[in-house]
């Protein structure tokens, strides 16, 4: 038997066939009311998260196409709400990681992580339903002082995401809350 590549999952089709696919090989076509709410980049990020969930959180080697599509739809529906201006509650708040990297100075990882924690605390105090950190790749390249993506960049990217998760688990008191890092 041939071993499954580490970045692949076996997708079981309704006909019973199993196809090994990486997240980059999956294409999406959204229909119905949810189709117009998201751009393709956002859907790809959501698919990456669902793929990661099945592969690493649940440690599954295979998933049915229907199950994956259902999990992706559930994730997207969680983001399909608007800010409620009448109550003053912001449902989605955004922060720019590359701006934080610029503020911390080139190659100053320690300052960056301190600013990141402060930004997370500040945003959580506003009680959002979704906190979105964007500009991760630019941020990583800025901190690493890299022009091209490298193994060091990948390692730093993983550190930032892990740090956000760790801080969030220590800080978050809200039950329904989502963190998006892109």
Helix (H) or strand (E) holding 162: helix 151-171
Q: pTM score, two decimals?
A: 0.54
Alpha carbons 69 and 74: distance in angstroms, whole number: 9
pLDDT for 85 beyond 50: no
The mean pLDDT of 53-65, rounded to a whole number, is 87
Q: What's the pLDDT score for residue 177?
A: 72
Q: What pLDDT, in 10s, does the model give residues 66-84?
A: 888 888 888 877 776 543 3
Q: What's the pLDDT score for residue 59?
A: 86
Q: What's the pLDDT score for residue 33?
A: 53
Per-position b or e across 17-53, b if 16+ CB within 10 A of its CB? eeeebebeebeeeeeeeeeeebeeeebbbbbebbbeb
Residue whose C-alpha is closest to residue 181's, from 171, 173, 170, 167 = 167
Q: What pLDDT, in 10s, does the model give residues 41-55?
A: 777 788 888 888 888
Q: Output the average pLDDT for the chain.
A: 80
């Amino acid at each position: 038997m041939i071993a499954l590549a580490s970045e692949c999952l076996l997708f079981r089709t309704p006909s019973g066939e199993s196809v090994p696919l990486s997240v980059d090989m999956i294409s999406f076509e959204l229909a119905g009311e949810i189709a117009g709410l998201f751009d393709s980049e956002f859907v790809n990020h959501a698919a990456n998260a669902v793929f990661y969930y099945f592969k690493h959180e649940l440690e599954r080697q295979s998933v049915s196409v229907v199950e994956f599509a259902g999990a992706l739809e559930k994730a997207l529906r969680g983001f399909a709400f608007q800010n409620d201006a009448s109550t003053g509650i912001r449902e989605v708040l955004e922060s720019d990681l590359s701006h934080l990297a610029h503020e911390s100075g080139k190659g100053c990882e320690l300052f960056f992580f301190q600013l990141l924690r402060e930004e997370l605390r500040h945003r959580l105090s506003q009680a959002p339903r979704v906190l979105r950190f964007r500009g991760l790749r630019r941020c990583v390249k800025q901190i690493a002082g890299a022009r091209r993506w490298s193994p060091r960049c990948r390692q730093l990217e993983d550190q930032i995401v892990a740090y956000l998760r760790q801080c969030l688990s220590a800080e978050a008191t809200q039950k329904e809350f989502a963190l998006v890092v892109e």
